[in-house]
Each structure stands twice: as C-alpha cells, then as structure tokens.
A and B are shown apart, each in its own frame.
Chain A
C-alpha cells in the first residue's frame, strides 16, 4: 500500500518537516547557516510533492477521488484506536496551501530573520508547525486530528513567544495556548460523545452511524457537533475565543502570515468542512451565528486600529467568521473556497506588511529612533514609490479581500454571501446572518483601503526616515510577487472558465459538497440550488457594498474630504468601543481570570492554611489535648488519687488504728467485751 504514490507522497509531506525539525533543533547551531537550508529544502520538497498530488488530482478530475491507509495504534481487544491518513481532493488542496505558504514563509524568513539570536530554533519550530498542520489535514480520524490540533497549538506557542524576552510576547503565547485549550476541551468532549455512541474514531464509520440514525441523533448529536465545533472556535479564533489572535501578532511577521492568517487558523474551518456531515441543523444555526457575529465584530474593531498587523489580524478574524458563517448556512464548499483564496491573499498581505515593517525597522534603526513604533500606520505614508513591488502586490491582494471582480476574493466571498442570502430567504427569521455578512464585507473594503492609503499614499508622516525606506531583498519580494499573483481569479477558474464573474472551475468541479449524514437535513443539491437562485442578487449587493467601502476610505484617507477625527468625535462612544476592541480583554480579565485566580488562591489557602493547619493538625492537637488530660487523669487521678489514695487511706486508717493498740490488757478486754456485746445485739434482731 505504501508504494502507492498517493499514500507515500502524503506521508513524506507529513514527516519531512518533522525530520527537519529534529535535525535543526539538535544540530542547527553546528550546521552551516544554522541549518536553514535543511528546513527550506525539506519544505520545498514537500511543496513539490504536493504539486505532484495536485497535478494527479487535475488529471484524474474525479470529485470522488480518495485514498487511505491506517495502522493499529492501540489495540486492547475491544478498545482500539487506528491512526491513518485520508487523501482526497480536499486534502490535496489543503496540503498544497500549507506547503506553498510554508515554503514562501521559509524563504521569506531567510531575509526577515537574518541575524536573529535564535535563528535555528525559529526554522526548527516552523518544521514542527508544518508537520502538525499536515497532520490535521491528513487525519482520517478524530484522535490523530486532535493530537495534531494540540501540536499545532504548541508550535504556535513557541513561535509567538519567539522573542520571549518581551513580556508581551510571552503573555501572548500563553494566552494563545490557553484560549485554544478552552476550545480543545469542547473538542475532546465532542470526541467522547461521538465515540461512546458510535464506538469508532475514524470519520467514515462515524458518518455511517449517524446516517443510520440509530446510534446517535437529536440533541446528543447537536451537543457532540457543537463540542467539536468549539475546537474550531478556539483555533479559528471565533467569538468569544477570538481574543488570542490579535495578540499573536507578537510573533515574527512571516509566522503571522503562515499560521495566523493562512493555515493554522484555517484549521478550524477545515475541520468543520471535513466533519460537515455530523452537524445537525440546530448545530449549524449556532455555527452560523458564531461566524456572523465574529465577522461583523472583528470588522468593526479593524476599522479603528492603527497597528498595521492588528488591522490584518482583525481582518483575518473577520474573514474566518465568513468561512464559519458559510459552514453554518450549509454552503461549506464555499467556506473552503474562501479558505483557499484567503490563504493566498492574506498570507501575501502579511508578507507585505512584514516588508513594510522590516523597512521601517531598518530606517528607524539608522535614525537611532527607538521610540517610534515601526508598525503604527500613523508613522507611515507615501511608501508607494519607495517600495513599488510591495505596494502593487499588496494592492492586488487588497482588491481580492475587498471583493472586487477579477480577483479571487470576489468569487469566494460571493459564493458565501449567496449561500447566506439564500439561507435567509428560506429562513426569514435569520435575516441577521446576511445583514451581518454584507455589512462586514463593506467594512472589509473600507478598512483595507484605509490601510493602503495610510501606508502607501499621501505624504510621509516622518520625513526623516524616508531616505532609508527601500524595497526588501528578493527573498522577501519573491514570495510577495508569487502570492500576489495568486490573488487573480484565473487560477481558480481554470481550465474551462475565463469569466471573472463566475466561480466555475477546477475547484467547483473537484470539491463538491456532500450530503449531511444527519437524517432530515437538506441535501447538498438543494442547498446548491437555493444558493444559485440567490446568486445574482448577492453578487449585485456585494459589488455595491465593496464599492461603498472603498469609496468611503478614498474620501476619508486619500482625498480627506471627510475628516476621520470628526467622525470619531461624533461617534465617540462607538469609536471608543471599536478602538478598545469592545473591551473583551478587560472584561475577561475582570470577570474571568481574576476571579479564577482568586478562587485558586482561596482554595490553596483553604488547603494549606486552614484544612491542613487546623483540621488535620487539629487531630494532632486533639490527640495532644486528650493525652494531656489522660496523663493528668492517669497521674493526678489514678496514680495520685486512686492508687496512692489506697496508700494514704491505709496510712490514715493505720494511724487511726494505731491508737487502738495501746498495749494495755484492760483496753483489749474492753474491746473483746464490746465486740461480744455487738454480736449479741446483732443476733437479737
């Protein structure tokens, strides 16, 4: 089985990065160039292997294409866990995304991380991440998915905390891991629920059992689905666990591009897509609302942020919300389509921001300015001519994310909005879903162009550094150009369709939606049919909102006909909430972390100071008291009182009796007579 390239190559793609991790972490320091070539070499190899798989997929052009292999990991007779891989079109596309963005990140990092004190460890951790991410993608069962899931969390922890000397980075890494673990608890409970009902961990038997309707159904299945979805809420940074992703920007920018934009955070969406058949209609409603709320909430925050990476981070959160919304409304292949296009343009946006920050950093360094924040867009402006490659590439990707025709984001976002709209047409009670969706789309166009205008257009805000702002080296511009070009629509509609308004192409041919396993759900055909009817309306609306957003950004930040200050003053309250991210961190801190820590301290105090010192030691003291009393009793009572009392008594009696022994015969005779008298009297009665 392993000779089959469809099994062997995915296994190589899985394990090569792990091997690179082991080599670079242990021997990196001793290798030339600290072993970065090992990491880059292995990752590019996996990319080439993924390309081969992708080509095979295109040549086969079979939507049902699927291979798998597994081995027995734990076998206790009845209790068994088989781990295995599943290779189908979904897997292959995802593998291509991961290895492509990972390769770009590796190459980009050679220049970006040059001279870093932990250069080798950085590359090692990238390898660990790629391994874990591929593990999620290839999993054919819940256990190996969960295991890779957690390993992804760790590599994220290690990379966010790469510059751990900074407290903010150390805090952010811990926050990311713990927030993810909250989601993982739900994931694990979901796994246990499914296993205890179905008796299997692998996807296909689970789907079969659910379709059977006997083993698990109704509320239990809804809870199991929502539990599993909680894992996605954590990993894909959905409301209310979205708080970790913006902080994760403390990590190096290429890491943000790879993990916190393109792949790791998309794992939650991937999981929902993979496990779509298990979600009941009630679970899907919850999922849809979580996605919609996340999309709008993050977009509202993004409009007021000034840190270039924070804007992108909130934009990522918002886009992930779109994808989750799509899963919830049933058009889950649209979610995956958006995952694909988003991975390309968002990774590129991060690379471009990294390129800008890199350049700012060097310029500020030359000017001996250590106080200016190199990530604050208010310190930028007018970089367009200094960094033309970065500018144009970023512009292209911004057009994609804003949903402008000719670019990839238009196709995928349109598919999502059409699905949402058709869902609301059939369930009018849920009109908020498309409303939030379109609103978030408008805001996306607005804040992304705000970013472009503030960074690249207008007059420079700090003139002194402009002479040192220059284009980045080719290790960085290479990935920027590559991923920038992948923001054009044509790569997703080949080979048959050249119409930029239609999403039909290899993707829609090969990634086809499947029916939900839950009995009574809408079939995939019905969902697609409904979405198709809503398509034109959705397209029209999304064009309108995108142009409105861009226009507004243009008027405020380019032409400055509307003053941003005035608006923020007029909507002071909303502006404040947006700027402060709706006070999530503050409230969580106040109502969750602090009470929790206080609880821990109280319990610890109870345990150590109270329970142990008073209760347990109380036994000791009680015993001591008892022994003192019994000692007293023993000595003063029994020994001194009773035992010695005998002595004293006989002594006294003896003394008394001594008086009797006078030695005079007459007295004795008197006693004898008295005695006889007493006896006689006694006899008489």
Chain B
C-alpha cells in the first residue's frame, strides 16, 4: 500500500458523509487537487529567470508548451528565444522556422506592444557539432575531422548526440547574452533524462582512458613509465581491431587524434552546461499529461532533478479534461440516457419533438414509438410542478424559434431520429467525459501524494492540434491561469 492512503482517506471523508451528493463529491475531488498552483507569469516575467527548460516524456506536448511559454513571455515584454528540437511541421511553419538552419529567426505576428520579441529556432544537431569542430580546430584539421566516416556517424546518429547538442546550443545561446529568456524544449529521448546524462557520457568518453588506449599506437614513445601499460593497451586495441575491423579502428584513431586538442574542451563544456542548468536563473518545468505513464515519468524526473540540484519550477499538466456539467454524475447521465432510449419508461410529448433528418436514413427504433403510449411522467421524481409547466412554455418557444420546421411533437409521421435519441447520445458522451475526469483525478492524486511540494499548472485538453500563434497564445493564457477555464453551467 502506498503511503498516501491515510491522507486520502482523511481528505475523502467529508465527501463520504455527503453520500449521494455528486456535487459535493466533485467539490471534494477539487480540494484533493494540488494546493500549490504554479504562477507561470511570475516565472516568465522575473528578469532573474534566464532559462526555462521543458522536459517530460514523449507525446505530452513539450514543444507546444515551450512555444506557448515563449510567446507569452515575449508578449509580456521579454526578448525571448525558443529552442525547439523536433517541432510538428505546422507548428514550426507558424513560427516561420520550417527550415533547419540553426539560426534564431524572429517570429512575425507577435504583439510587441510591451517591447518584447520572440525568436525561434530548430536544432540542427549535425550543424551544431560541425560548428564546435570548426571553432576549435584549424581549418585543415577541421576538414579532416568533418570528413572522417566515424565522425559523420557520430555526429548524425549517436543516440545522445542530439541531447548533447541541445545542451551545447543552450550554452551558446546563453553565452551570447542577446536574450532575456531562453525557452528550451528537450529531445524526445527514450528516457526524459537522457539530456542530463548525455553530455557527461560523451564528455567522459571523449576525455577518458579509452581514448588514450586508442591513441597509444599513434603516439610514439611516450613516457617511460607508460611503456609497460602500452603493451597491455596495444593488446586491447588488437582485440578491438579484431572485433570491429581494422579500418574501423583506424578511422576512430584518426578521428581521436585529430580531435585530441578538443577533448579537454568537451569536458569543460559539458561541465559548464551542467552548472548552467543548476544555476539560479534556470527553471525546469516538467511537462506531463494526466496519464499513468506520463505522470510516472514526471515523478521520476522530479526526483532526479532534486538529486542533481536542478531547480524545478513546477509541473505543467497538459490535456486535462473538464466538464461544464460536472455536477451531473456519469451514473445519473447514463440512467437518464437509458430512460430516453427506452420509451416505455419515460415518454413525454415535449421530449419527442423530432427533427427531420436526411432522407434515406433508417428509422430509429427508439424514436418511432410515437405519442400513442404517452404516459404521465412518473420517473422524473425531482421535477417540480414548476418544471413541468415550463415544458409547455418552452414548447411554444420552440415553434417560434425553429426556422419554419414544423413542430412534429405528437405528429403521426414519426421522425427518423428523435431529439430524445440525440439527447441520450449527449448524455452518454457526458458520462464518458465524467469517467475520464475521474480517472485523470485519480492519476493526479497519486502524483500529488508523492510530490505535494510541486506546484502545478493545468491546461485543458483541446480537441485539435495547435498550429498558429493564436492557438499558442490561447495555451499561454491557459498556462498562466493554472486551472482549465471551463464553461460553467451558468456561462
């Protein structure tokens, strides 16, 4: 049993006392929601904050979140650059960065009334790697490295190069000091943590013992004390040569020899990037969706950031569902839908007002019952007399409002699909939504119980993808509100 159970029991108990009141239960579910709400605007506006890193597992909307944060910060007066790794084509196009050129481009259509600017760029990892080589080696040596087959594979394919280069680029952007704020998206790694590990791994490899082994045959002589060791080492290279093939090893050695002067640099850069991530001007946002796997990864990430002394600002919970009718429980909605679909239980003239559908549709068996078996409504126990007499009132409204369509209530030519069948569908849709809400709430509670200290902001699920600035602006506003704005029943 998880340690959160007692707490949940306590908090849950008020609701239990209010047995049978879905509204109260809903309210108590809200109280269970994280107490701390992440203040996104404060984070974006604080001039001391210079870097925001969005991380999280794949498919949770990291890139969109990064872009929306960047836009919001820019429209609130900051000069921002967003570094995206692998944006959706249309999102990239909307920001004018559909080409991979590794250069920040100013995004058009941003409201600059507050004096801010938005720039965006898409990471070209090979280009970034090439630039490092070019800036650290003389032209001849750089050319040798860039043409080396080992280098070509390493720079384009090594799992981890993308992560390393993303962090490298971040370091470069920060060093230029041209921007108030850098928002960075992290690569879609097999693990959300790869970008933390890759620089170290690559750095320690390029700086490590093995490199010296590989270099050994290339370096003639060496210090006297190394001689004995060198015998062992050449044996190792012999084995490696056998396994990998002589040419391969030769390519590696050439590469390593050519890069020799840069190794120290790699280690230093990896260390510098790591420190930059720990610095006080950096804020990490863990992005997740209210799904089990995504939140499990998020929890893991939160723990890992703490262990690494990386400053976590909070959790962005994307794709949270809400309902404007959340006081109507799934159970009641389903029961009502069944009532409507089975005319023997409930049949009311008003509810049978049919709508003409496209000709050729097969008759709906539920809708064709007709007014013959009209019985007084006895199941709708909570309908007051007041409610019943309204139904007559609204009936006349309908005749006035429906654009010329005959009011078919009680008409003998039964419609092919009744309003009741449609209403039942809407209620089933609602029941499904309420089940989803409950599931999301359970998942979030599990996270909150584990990490009550983490501030959270929620973004309501959108039916479609975001691919223009208006959409990003909308997401930004939702991020800043902290809770999904839902159309309330009174709206």
A complexed with B: no
Question: Residues of A with Cβ closer than 8 Å to B?
Answer: none
Q: Which residues of B contact A (CB under 8 A)?
A: none
